[in-house]
Structure 1
Amino acid sequence: MKLGLSIGYSGAELTLPVEKVLLAERLGFDSVWTAEAYGSDAISPLAYLAAVTERIRLGTGIMQLAARPPVSAAMAAGTLDALAGGGRVIAGLGVSGPQIVEGWYGQPWGKPYWRIRDYVAIMRKVFARKEPVAHAGREISLPYTGPGALGVGKPLMSILHMDARLPIWLGTGTEANVKLTAEIADGWLPLGFVPRLMPTLRPWLEEGFRRAGGHKGFANFEIQARAEVAITDDVRGALAGMKPRVALYVGGMGHRDKNFHKEMMIRRGFGEAAQRIQELYLGRRKDEAVAAVPDEFCDEMSLVGPVARIRERYRAWADCGITGLTLVTDQPEALELMAKIAGASPRT
C-alpha cells in the first residue's frame, strides 16, 4: 500500500517540516499532503517542497472550492506541476463547510453537489486545452453572464500547456458526493474513513463507476485514507492527545445544523457522543467536550501503541480495499516503522 505524509495547514506561524518530508521521500513514501482552512493556503507550501524534493507526489488535501475559481485552481495545480518537473501533483478538492464558505470567502453555499461537478469539469477543460474553455453549469458557468456582467467575456485557452491527465481527487463523505467522486474524479480522500466502513462505502463507489461507464473501477481509482500514528506504551495517553482536534471539528468546525464532521461521527455509530460533544463545545465547555470523545472513536482511526499493536492493527487497513494511507505523526521512528510494515521501497 502507498504511504502519504500529512503536514496539514499552519498554526499562527508557518513552519514546514522539510526534514520530515525528505525522510519520507527517502523511505519510499508516495505523497505529501497539505491542507487549508482560513490561514495558510494549500498550494504555496507544496511549491517550496517541490524545489527540495525529487520524486514524492505533491497533494492538496484539500483545496477549498470557494477559495478560488476552478480555472485558478487549475492554473495553480498546473504551475506547481511544471515547477515540480511534471507528473507529481494531485489536485485534491473539497467544499469545506458553509461557515467558512460564506464567512471567510464571502461565497454562497449554493448546491455543493453541482458546484463540485462544474468545478471538476472546468478544471479538466483547462488541463486538456482542446478548445477555449466554456461551460454552462448549474452552479458555475464560463464566460460569466450573471449580475454585474458587461457581457464581453470570451472563452480562453490556457497559455501554459499543462498535463492533460493531471489527477483530480475529491474529499467527500456523504453518499451522493461519494458516488459523484467515483464518477468524475481520479481518486478519493474519504472523510473519517475507518476500515470497517468499506462494506457500506463500496456500493456507493461502484454506483459512481457505473455512472462513469465501463472504463472506471477499483483497478484505476485511488483511495487515500488517513490515520494518526504514534509508537508508545501509553495507548490511552496517545488517544487523549487526539481528542482536542476531534472535539474542535465535531463541536465547532461547522454550524450546529450543518457540520460534516459531526455527521461523519454519527455515521460511524457514535451519534450520542457527537451530539454531546457539540452541545458542550458550543456551550464553551471545551474541556468537557474533549473528555466526551470516546477512546474507541479515536482508536479505530489511528495506529497507536507498541510496535506489535501497530503491526497487528495495520492489517485491517491493508486488507480493506484502500490504495494508500496518509500518516499524521511527529515521530520519525513512526515513519520508518510504517515504511517497513507497508513494504515501501526506500531510495538508494
Structure 2
Amino acid sequence: MGRGAGGQERRDDRGARRGLAAARARPREDPRRVRPGARRRVREARPELGPLQITGGGILALEPEMWEPARQLARGMYALYIGGMGARGKNFYNTVMRRQGWADAAQEVQDLYLDGKKEEAAAALPDEFIEKATLIGEPAFVRERIAALQEAGVTHLHVNAVTADAPKIFGQVKEWIS
C-alpha cells in the first residue's frame, strides 16, 4: 500500500492526479469496492498512467485522549460533505451514505445542514457511522481496519492524524503497511 499520510499525492509525468479516492469505503460491509477487472481495464485503456491507485483512509487517532477530538473533527467534516456539498438530490456524499444503509441519517444531516444548523447536523451522524468511516481507536482496531482497506483493494493510505506526536503515529502506521 502506498503511503499518503501527511497529504502526499501521486501524479503522473504530466502532473495529472493518479488514483481513485474512495468515498469512505466500508470494506467489511462491501468488499467489492474495486470491481473485478477495473485495474486491467484502466491499464489497457491508459497504460501511460501505470497501475490504478485506490486511496482510502480517513481521520486517524490512536491515543485515547485524542479519540473524542478526532470524532468531533470527523462529525464536522462529514456533516459538511453529507449535508452541504451540493443541492438536495445532487450531493454525491449524501448518496453514498444512503447507499451504505444510512438513508434516514443522510436525510436528517442534509436537512439540518441546509437549514443552517451545522452543529445539529454533526450531532445527527450516528456513532456507528463515525466508527466505520474513521480510523479512531485502539491500535489493534485501527490496524485491523487498515488491513480491511487493503483487502478491499486500497493501495494508497491517506490519513489525517489527530495526535500530539505525528512522527510517532505515522511511523507506527508505516510499519503496519510495510
Q: What is the TM-score with the length of structure 1 in the denominator?
A: 0.44
Alignment match, 1:90:
11
CA spacing shift, 1:200–1:315, aligned 2, 3 Å: closer
Q: What is the Cα deviation at residue 6 of structure 1?
A: 4.5
Matches of 1:272 and 1:304, distance apart in 2: 24
Matches of 1:207 and 1:319, distance apart in 2: 15
Conserved 8 A contact 2:62-2:138: yes
Unaligned runs of 5+ in 1: 8-31, 33-58, 60-88, 92-162, 170-185, 344-348
Amino acid at match of 1:299: E
CA spacing shift, 1:307–1:212, aligned 2, 3 Å: closer
Secondary structure at 1:266 match in 2: helix
Q: What is the Cα deviation at residue 231 of structure 1?
A: 1.2
Runs of 4+ in 1 over 4 A off after TM superposition: 207-216
Q: What is the Cα deviation at residue 246 of structure 1?
A: 0.7
Matches of 1:281 and 1:259, distance apart in 2: 13
Q: What is the Cα deviation at residue 243 of structure 1?
A: 0.4
Amino acid at match of 1:239: R
Conserved 8 A contact 1:223-1:323: yes
Secondary structure at 1:300 match in 2: helix
Q: What is the Cα deviation at residue 211 of structure 1?
A: 8.1
Alignment match, 2:133:
301
Q: What is the Cα deviation at residue 201 of structure 1?
A: 4.0
1:185-264 aligned within 5 A = 187-196=19-28, 197-203=30-36, 206=37, 209-210=40-41, 213=44, 220-233=51-64, 237=68, 238-264=70-96
**Number of equivalent positions:** 171
Matches of 1:305 and 1:225, distance apart in 2: 17
Alignment match, 2:3:
3
Secondary structure at 1:258 match in 2: coil
Q: What is the TM-score with the length of structure 2 in the denominator?
A: 0.79
Deviations 1:243-263 (A, max 9, x none): 011111111121123111111
Aligned alpha-carbon RMSD (Å): 2.8
Unaligned runs of 5+ in 2: none
